[in-house]
Structure 1
Amino acid sequence: MRQRLPYGPPGAFCVFPTAIGHCALVWRSPGVVVGSALPHGSAAATRDAMHRRYPSVAEAVPDGVLASAVASITLLLDTGSADLTGIDLDLSAVPEFDRRVYEVVRTVPAGVTLTYGDVASQLGSPGAAQAVGQALGRNPFPPIVPCHRVLAAGRQVGGFSAGGGRRTKLRMLDAEGVHLEHPTLFEL
Protein backbone atom coordinates (compact mmCIF):
# COMPACT_ATOMS: atom_id res chain seq x y z
CA MET A 1 0.00 0.00 0.00
CA ARG A 2 1.75 3.14 -1.15
CA GLN A 3 1.32 6.25 0.91
CA ARG A 4 0.12 9.16 -1.19
CA LEU A 5 0.27 12.85 -0.63
CA PRO A 6 -3.08 14.62 -0.80
CA TYR A 7 -4.24 15.32 -4.35
CA GLY A 8 -7.03 17.65 -3.32
CA PRO A 9 -10.67 16.75 -2.79
CA PRO A 10 -12.15 13.51 -4.12
CA GLY A 11 -13.29 13.90 -7.67
CA ALA A 12 -15.89 11.25 -8.41
CA PHE A 13 -17.72 8.18 -7.19
CA CYS A 14 -19.77 5.32 -8.55
CA VAL A 15 -22.36 2.99 -7.09
CA PHE A 16 -22.37 -0.58 -8.38
CA PRO A 17 -24.35 -3.77 -7.70
CA THR A 18 -22.83 -6.81 -5.98
CA ALA A 19 -24.19 -10.01 -4.46
CA ILE A 20 -24.56 -8.28 -1.08
CA GLY A 21 -26.07 -5.01 -2.38
CA HIS A 22 -24.96 -1.75 -3.95
CA CYS A 23 -21.43 -0.69 -2.99
CA ALA A 24 -19.53 2.51 -3.80
CA LEU A 25 -16.05 3.58 -4.81
CA VAL A 26 -14.74 7.14 -4.47
CA TRP A 27 -11.61 8.31 -6.28
CA ARG A 28 -9.54 11.21 -7.44
CA SER A 29 -7.39 11.37 -10.53
CA PRO A 30 -5.22 9.64 -11.51
CA GLY A 31 -7.01 6.49 -10.36
CA VAL A 32 -6.38 6.66 -6.62
CA VAL A 33 -9.16 5.42 -4.32
CA VAL A 34 -9.99 7.73 -1.42
CA GLY A 35 -12.89 5.72 -0.04
CA SER A 36 -15.34 2.92 -0.57
CA ALA A 37 -18.51 1.68 1.01
CA LEU A 38 -20.39 -1.53 1.53
CA PRO A 39 -24.17 -1.46 0.97
CA HIS A 40 -26.39 1.00 2.82
CA GLY A 41 -29.65 -0.81 2.04
CA SER A 42 -30.26 0.36 -1.53
CA ALA A 43 -28.46 2.04 -4.41
CA ALA A 44 -30.09 5.36 -3.47
CA ALA A 45 -29.10 5.02 0.21
CA THR A 46 -25.49 4.19 -0.75
CA ARG A 47 -25.44 7.18 -3.13
CA ASP A 48 -26.80 9.45 -0.36
CA ALA A 49 -24.17 8.17 2.07
CA MET A 50 -21.42 9.04 -0.41
CA HIS A 51 -22.82 12.56 -0.88
CA ARG A 52 -22.86 13.05 2.91
CA ARG A 53 -19.32 11.70 3.36
CA TYR A 54 -17.88 13.45 0.27
CA PRO A 55 -20.13 16.46 -0.45
CA SER A 56 -18.13 17.69 -3.45
CA VAL A 57 -18.05 14.45 -5.45
CA ALA A 58 -19.93 13.85 -8.67
CA GLU A 59 -21.17 10.49 -9.82
CA ALA A 60 -19.20 9.18 -12.81
CA VAL A 61 -18.45 6.04 -14.75
CA PRO A 62 -15.05 4.64 -13.75
CA ASP A 63 -12.56 3.72 -16.43
CA GLY A 64 -9.13 2.13 -16.60
CA VAL A 65 -7.75 1.02 -13.25
CA LEU A 66 -10.88 2.23 -11.45
CA ALA A 67 -13.14 0.07 -13.63
CA SER A 68 -10.81 -2.83 -12.84
CA ALA A 69 -11.11 -2.03 -9.13
CA VAL A 70 -14.92 -2.09 -9.34
CA ALA A 71 -14.79 -5.40 -11.23
CA SER A 72 -12.45 -6.91 -8.62
CA ILE A 73 -14.58 -5.75 -5.68
CA THR A 74 -17.69 -7.13 -7.39
CA LEU A 75 -15.94 -10.45 -8.03
CA LEU A 76 -14.85 -10.70 -4.39
CA LEU A 77 -18.34 -10.00 -3.06
CA ASP A 78 -20.02 -12.23 -5.65
CA THR A 79 -17.69 -15.24 -5.50
CA GLY A 80 -15.43 -14.73 -2.49
CA SER A 81 -12.36 -14.81 -4.70
CA ALA A 82 -10.46 -11.76 -5.89
CA ASP A 83 -7.21 -10.02 -5.00
CA LEU A 84 -7.71 -6.35 -4.12
CA THR A 85 -4.14 -5.65 -2.97
CA GLY A 86 -3.26 -3.88 -6.23
CA ILE A 87 -5.84 -1.13 -5.73
CA ASP A 88 -4.01 2.11 -4.95
CA LEU A 89 -5.33 3.84 -1.81
CA ASP A 90 -4.84 7.42 -0.66
CA LEU A 91 -3.97 7.03 3.01
CA SER A 92 -3.00 10.67 3.59
CA ALA A 93 -6.00 11.33 5.86
CA VAL A 94 -5.63 8.06 7.80
CA PRO A 95 -3.98 8.19 11.26
CA GLU A 96 -0.64 6.37 11.53
CA PHE A 97 -1.88 3.55 13.77
CA ASP A 98 -4.91 2.90 11.56
CA ARG A 99 -2.64 2.90 8.48
CA ARG A 100 -0.45 0.23 10.06
CA VAL A 101 -3.52 -1.86 10.95
CA TYR A 102 -4.81 -1.58 7.36
CA GLU A 103 -1.42 -2.60 5.97
CA VAL A 104 -1.50 -5.81 8.03
CA VAL A 105 -5.15 -6.58 7.31
CA ARG A 106 -4.68 -5.98 3.61
CA THR A 107 -2.27 -8.95 3.49
CA VAL A 108 -4.92 -11.40 4.76
CA PRO A 109 -6.07 -13.45 1.75
CA ALA A 110 -9.67 -14.42 1.05
CA GLY A 111 -10.71 -17.46 3.07
CA VAL A 112 -8.29 -16.68 5.92
CA THR A 113 -9.05 -14.88 9.17
CA LEU A 114 -7.06 -13.29 11.97
CA THR A 115 -8.21 -12.08 15.37
CA TYR A 116 -7.90 -8.51 16.59
CA GLY A 117 -5.18 -9.84 18.91
CA ASP A 118 -3.32 -11.45 15.99
CA VAL A 119 -3.23 -8.11 14.18
CA ALA A 120 -2.08 -6.33 17.34
CA SER A 121 0.73 -8.88 17.76
CA GLN A 122 1.82 -8.42 14.15
CA LEU A 123 2.03 -4.69 14.85
CA GLY A 124 4.30 -5.38 17.83
CA SER A 125 1.59 -4.23 20.25
CA PRO A 126 0.06 -7.43 21.68
CA GLY A 127 -2.14 -5.51 24.12
CA ALA A 128 -3.74 -3.35 21.44
CA ALA A 129 -6.55 -5.66 20.27
CA GLN A 130 -9.24 -3.13 21.22
CA ALA A 131 -7.41 -0.33 19.38
CA VAL A 132 -7.19 -2.60 16.31
CA GLY A 133 -10.96 -3.12 16.49
CA GLN A 134 -11.54 0.62 16.72
CA ALA A 135 -9.26 1.26 13.73
CA LEU A 136 -11.15 -1.33 11.71
CA GLY A 137 -14.44 0.29 12.72
CA ARG A 138 -13.16 3.48 11.06
CA ASN A 139 -12.01 1.66 7.90
CA PRO A 140 -12.75 4.00 4.96
CA PHE A 141 -11.90 1.28 2.40
CA PRO A 142 -14.14 -1.78 2.88
CA PRO A 143 -13.73 -4.43 1.43
CA ILE A 144 -10.42 -3.29 -0.14
CA VAL A 145 -9.07 -3.33 3.41
CA PRO A 146 -10.84 -6.58 4.34
CA CYS A 147 -11.84 -5.81 7.92
CA HIS A 148 -14.46 -8.57 7.65
CA ARG A 149 -11.58 -11.08 7.89
CA VAL A 150 -10.69 -9.97 11.41
CA LEU A 151 -12.52 -11.74 14.23
CA ALA A 152 -12.81 -11.47 17.98
CA ALA A 153 -11.01 -13.91 20.26
CA GLY A 154 -12.13 -17.52 19.96
CA ARG A 155 -13.14 -17.03 16.31
CA GLN A 156 -16.21 -15.08 17.39
CA VAL A 157 -17.64 -12.73 14.77
CA GLY A 158 -17.12 -9.56 16.77
CA GLY A 159 -18.50 -6.25 15.62
CA PHE A 160 -19.01 -4.95 12.11
CA SER A 161 -19.91 -1.34 11.41
CA ALA A 162 -21.16 -1.83 7.83
CA GLY A 163 -24.86 -1.90 7.05
CA GLY A 164 -26.31 -5.23 8.10
CA GLY A 165 -23.70 -5.58 10.85
CA ARG A 166 -22.71 -9.12 11.80
CA ARG A 167 -25.01 -10.64 9.18
CA THR A 168 -23.13 -8.83 6.37
CA LYS A 169 -19.77 -9.88 7.85
CA LEU A 170 -20.90 -13.51 8.04
CA ARG A 171 -22.22 -13.39 4.48
CA MET A 172 -18.91 -12.01 3.17
CA LEU A 173 -16.91 -14.62 5.07
CA ASP A 174 -19.25 -17.38 3.94
CA ALA A 175 -18.67 -16.40 0.28
CA GLU A 176 -14.93 -16.80 0.97
CA GLY A 177 -15.43 -20.28 2.46
CA VAL A 178 -15.16 -19.25 6.12
CA HIS A 179 -18.16 -20.69 7.96
CA LEU A 180 -18.42 -19.46 11.54
CA GLU A 181 -22.09 -19.96 12.31
CA HIS A 182 -24.56 -22.47 11.03
CA PRO A 183 -27.95 -21.16 9.91
CA THR A 184 -30.96 -21.87 12.05
CA LEU A 185 -34.18 -23.30 10.66
CA PHE A 186 -35.54 -19.73 10.42
CA GLU A 187 -32.61 -18.48 8.30
CA LEU A 188 -32.69 -21.26 5.67
Structure 2
Amino acid sequence: MAGAAYTIFDTLMGRCGIAWGDDGVLAVQLADSREIDTRRRLLRQCPDARESRPSAEIAGAIDGIAATLRGAPHDFSDVSLDLGGLPAFDCRVYAAIRAIPRGETATHAELAKRVGSSGALYAVGHAIRRNPFALIVPCHRALATAGDTSGICANGGVITRRRLLAMEGAIAAGGPSLFDVLLTAAPRQPER
Protein backbone atom coordinates (compact mmCIF):
# COMPACT_ATOMS: atom_id res chain seq x y z
CA MET A 1 0.00 0.00 0.00
CA ALA A 2 1.35 3.41 -0.85
CA GLY A 3 0.50 6.21 1.57
CA ALA A 4 -1.91 6.39 4.44
CA ALA A 5 -5.51 5.21 4.51
CA TYR A 6 -8.44 5.55 6.88
CA THR A 7 -11.94 4.33 7.51
CA ILE A 8 -14.85 5.34 9.71
CA PHE A 9 -16.67 2.55 11.53
CA ASP A 10 -19.61 1.94 13.86
CA THR A 11 -19.35 1.28 17.59
CA LEU A 12 -21.80 1.51 20.47
CA MET A 13 -20.21 4.87 21.26
CA GLY A 14 -20.78 6.19 17.74
CA ARG A 15 -18.78 6.42 14.52
CA CYS A 16 -15.06 6.14 15.26
CA GLY A 17 -12.14 6.37 12.85
CA ILE A 18 -8.80 4.69 12.29
CA ALA A 19 -5.91 5.61 10.00
CA TRP A 20 -3.05 3.33 9.01
CA GLY A 21 -0.01 3.10 6.81
CA ASP A 22 2.48 0.44 5.74
CA ASP A 23 4.00 0.27 9.24
CA GLY A 24 0.75 0.00 11.21
CA VAL A 25 -1.91 2.14 12.85
CA LEU A 26 -1.28 5.89 12.59
CA ALA A 27 -4.23 7.14 14.64
CA VAL A 28 -7.52 6.18 16.27
CA GLN A 29 -10.24 8.77 16.70
CA LEU A 30 -13.05 8.07 19.13
CA ALA A 31 -16.53 9.23 18.17
CA ASP A 32 -17.38 12.90 18.26
CA SER A 33 -20.99 14.04 18.42
CA ARG A 34 -21.12 14.13 14.61
CA GLU A 35 -19.36 11.83 12.14
CA ILE A 36 -18.04 14.81 10.19
CA ASP A 37 -16.21 15.98 13.33
CA THR A 38 -14.73 12.52 13.89
CA ARG A 39 -13.52 12.47 10.28
CA ARG A 40 -12.17 16.03 10.53
CA ARG A 41 -10.15 15.29 13.70
CA LEU A 42 -8.76 12.08 12.23
CA LEU A 43 -7.74 13.83 9.01
CA ARG A 44 -6.13 16.64 11.03
CA GLN A 45 -3.77 13.97 12.40
CA CYS A 46 -3.33 12.21 9.04
CA PRO A 47 -4.02 14.81 6.34
CA ASP A 48 -2.71 12.63 3.48
CA ALA A 49 -4.88 9.62 4.35
CA ARG A 50 -7.41 8.44 1.78
CA GLU A 51 -10.57 6.54 2.64
CA SER A 52 -10.06 2.85 2.00
CA ARG A 53 -11.19 -0.65 2.92
CA PRO A 54 -9.19 -1.94 5.93
CA SER A 55 -6.68 -4.77 5.68
CA ALA A 56 -7.22 -7.90 7.79
CA GLU A 57 -4.95 -6.55 10.55
CA ILE A 58 -6.75 -3.20 10.66
CA ALA A 59 -10.14 -4.96 10.58
CA GLY A 60 -8.97 -6.90 13.65
CA ALA A 61 -8.05 -3.64 15.39
CA ILE A 62 -11.48 -2.20 14.48
CA ASP A 63 -13.21 -5.27 15.91
CA GLY A 64 -11.14 -4.86 19.08
CA ILE A 65 -12.03 -1.18 19.43
CA ALA A 66 -15.73 -1.95 18.98
CA ALA A 67 -15.49 -4.79 21.52
CA THR A 68 -13.69 -2.56 24.05
CA LEU A 69 -16.38 0.09 23.73
CA ARG A 70 -18.99 -2.63 24.44
CA GLY A 71 -17.09 -3.52 27.62
CA ALA A 72 -15.57 -6.74 26.30
CA PRO A 73 -11.89 -7.43 26.94
CA HIS A 74 -9.55 -7.22 23.96
CA ASP A 75 -5.79 -7.63 23.69
CA PHE A 76 -4.24 -5.09 21.31
CA SER A 77 -0.66 -6.30 21.83
CA ASP A 78 -0.51 -7.72 18.29
CA VAL A 79 -1.62 -4.44 16.66
CA SER A 80 1.33 -2.71 14.98
CA LEU A 81 1.68 1.01 15.55
CA ASP A 82 3.41 3.39 13.16
CA LEU A 83 5.57 5.36 15.59
CA GLY A 84 7.49 7.20 12.88
CA GLY A 85 7.75 10.90 13.56
CA LEU A 86 6.77 10.60 17.22
CA PRO A 87 9.20 11.66 19.95
CA ALA A 88 11.19 8.73 21.39
CA PHE A 89 10.06 9.64 24.91
CA ASP A 90 6.39 9.47 23.89
CA CYS A 91 6.99 6.05 22.32
CA ARG A 92 8.48 4.77 25.60
CA VAL A 93 5.47 6.14 27.50
CA TYR A 94 3.07 4.46 25.05
CA ALA A 95 4.89 1.13 25.47
CA ALA A 96 4.60 1.45 29.26
CA ILE A 97 0.89 2.27 29.01
CA ARG A 98 0.28 -0.71 26.72
CA ALA A 99 1.75 -2.90 29.48
CA ILE A 100 -0.88 -1.78 32.05
CA PRO A 101 -3.26 -4.74 32.39
CA ARG A 102 -7.01 -4.36 31.93
CA GLY A 103 -8.63 -3.51 35.25
CA GLU A 104 -5.55 -1.69 36.56
CA THR A 105 -4.23 1.85 36.44
CA ALA A 106 -0.84 3.53 36.81
CA THR A 107 0.00 7.06 37.85
CA HIS A 108 2.07 9.45 35.78
CA ALA A 109 4.82 9.11 38.43
CA GLU A 110 4.81 5.32 38.08
CA LEU A 111 4.97 5.61 34.29
CA ALA A 112 7.82 8.12 34.48
CA LYS A 113 9.75 5.67 36.65
CA ARG A 114 9.00 2.78 34.25
CA VAL A 115 10.44 4.74 31.31
CA GLY A 116 13.54 5.68 33.28
CA SER A 117 12.72 9.36 33.82
CA SER A 118 11.31 9.52 37.34
CA GLY A 119 11.23 13.33 37.34
CA ALA A 120 9.41 13.62 34.02
CA LEU A 121 5.82 13.75 35.30
CA TYR A 122 4.79 16.64 33.09
CA ALA A 123 6.41 15.08 30.03
CA VAL A 124 4.45 11.89 30.69
CA GLY A 125 1.24 13.93 30.93
CA HIS A 126 2.01 15.67 27.64
CA ALA A 127 2.69 12.34 25.91
CA ILE A 128 -0.62 10.99 27.19
CA ARG A 129 -2.54 14.02 25.93
CA ARG A 130 -0.92 13.60 22.50
CA ASN A 131 -1.64 9.84 22.30
CA PRO A 132 -2.86 9.27 18.74
CA PHE A 133 -3.76 5.61 19.42
CA ALA A 134 -6.83 5.78 21.68
CA LEU A 135 -7.73 2.40 23.22
CA ILE A 136 -4.84 0.60 21.48
CA VAL A 137 -2.60 2.62 23.81
CA PRO A 138 -5.08 2.66 26.71
CA CYS A 139 -4.30 6.12 28.09
CA HIS A 140 -7.50 5.98 30.13
CA ARG A 141 -5.53 3.71 32.50
CA ALA A 142 -2.89 6.42 33.12
CA LEU A 143 -3.95 8.71 35.97
CA ALA A 144 -2.31 11.92 37.15
CA THR A 145 -2.51 10.63 40.73
CA ALA A 146 -3.85 7.42 42.23
CA GLY A 147 -7.63 7.29 42.04
CA ASP A 148 -7.97 10.62 40.20
CA THR A 149 -9.98 9.96 37.05
CA SER A 150 -10.32 13.61 36.15
CA GLY A 151 -8.18 15.17 33.49
CA ILE A 152 -8.23 14.76 29.77
CA CYS A 153 -7.13 11.60 28.08
CA ALA A 154 -6.30 11.68 24.40
CA ASN A 155 -9.46 12.41 22.40
CA GLY A 156 -11.78 10.62 24.78
CA GLY A 157 -12.59 12.97 27.64
CA VAL A 158 -13.25 12.41 31.31
CA ILE A 159 -16.63 10.69 30.89
CA THR A 160 -15.22 8.19 28.39
CA ARG A 161 -12.25 7.51 30.69
CA ARG A 162 -14.51 6.80 33.65
CA ARG A 163 -16.81 4.57 31.59
CA LEU A 164 -13.88 2.55 30.26
CA LEU A 165 -12.30 2.17 33.70
CA ALA A 166 -15.65 1.13 35.17
CA MET A 167 -16.21 -1.44 32.38
CA GLU A 168 -12.72 -2.81 33.03
CA GLY A 169 -13.34 -3.02 36.78
CA ALA A 170 -10.61 -0.51 37.63
CA ILE A 171 -13.07 1.83 39.39
CA ALA A 172 -16.54 1.44 40.82
CA ALA A 173 -19.21 2.02 38.23
CA GLY A 174 -21.53 3.51 40.83
CA GLY A 175 -21.97 7.07 41.91
CA PRO A 176 -24.86 9.41 41.54
CA SER A 177 -26.49 9.85 38.18
CA LEU A 178 -27.47 13.24 36.83
CA PHE A 179 -31.04 12.44 37.93
CA ASP A 180 -29.82 11.78 41.50
CA VAL A 181 -27.91 15.05 41.55
CA LEU A 182 -30.92 17.00 40.30
CA LEU A 183 -33.17 15.43 42.93
CA THR A 184 -30.84 16.35 45.79
CA ALA A 185 -30.37 19.88 44.44
CA ALA A 186 -34.10 20.56 44.00
CA PRO A 187 -35.79 22.37 46.90
CA ARG A 188 -38.10 20.11 48.83
CA GLN A 189 -41.77 20.91 48.96
CA PRO A 190 -43.24 21.01 52.47
CA GLU A 191 -45.41 18.03 53.34
CA ARG A 192 -49.12 18.70 53.92
Q: TM-score range by the shorter chain?
A: 0.7 to 0.9
Counterpart of 2:21 in structure 1 is 28
Q: How many residues align?
A: 180
Q: What SS does the aligned partner of 1:110 have?
A: coil
What fraction of aligned residue pairs are identical, expressed as a percent? 35
Code of the residue aligned with 1:64 in structure 2: it is: A
Q: What is the CA deviation profile of residues 70-110 of structure 1, one whole-angstrom value per residue up to 9, with x for unaligned ones? A: 11111112124100111001101110110110011111121
- SS, match of residue 155 in structure 1: coil
SS in 2 for 1:142: coil
Pair 1:16-2:3 in alignment: no
Shift of 1:25: 0.8
Q: TM-score, normalised by structure 2?
A: 0.84
Amino acid paired to 1:125: S
Q: Distance between the aligned counterparts of 2:69 and 2:102, measured in 1?
A: 11
Aligned partner of 1:53: which letter? Q
Aligned-residue offset at 1:53: 2.7
> Per-residue deviation at 1:64?
1.1
The residue type equivalent to 2:12 in the other structure is: A
For the 8 Å contact 2:139–2:153, the answer to whether it is kept is no
Q: Is 1:101 aligned to residue 103 of structure 2? A: no
CA contact (8 A) 1:170 1:180 kept: no
Other-structure match for 1:48 = 40
Matched AA of 1:96: A
- List alignment gaps of at least 5 residues for structure 2: 181-192
C-alpha contact 2:13 2:69 (8 A) present in aligned 1: yes
Matched, 1:115 2:111: no
Deviations 1:93-149 (CA, angstroms, capped at 9, x unpaired): 110110110011111121111111110111122221221111100101111111000
Please show how residues 1-188 of structure 1 align to structure 2 within 5 Å: 9-10=3-4, 12-29=5-22, 32-163=24-155, 165-179=157-171, 182-186=174-178
> Whole-Å Cα distance in 2 between the matches of residues 60 and 32 of structure 1?
14
Moved >6 Å (runs of 4+): none
AA aligned to 1:21 is G
Judged with a 3 Å threshold, the aligned counterparts in structure 2 of structure 1 residues 187 and 28 are, in CA distance, closer, same or farther, namely farther
In 1: Cα distance, 2:32 partner to 2:89 partner? 27
Q: Name stretches of at least 5 consecutive residues in structure 1 with no aligned partner.
A: 1-6
Q: Secondary structure at the match of 2:109?
A: helix
Tell me the TM-score normalized by structure 1.
Answer: 0.86
User: Which shifted more, 102-111 or 42-51?
Assistant: 42-51
Cα shift readout 1:43-65 (whole Å, capped 9, x = no counterpart)? 22211222333222222221311
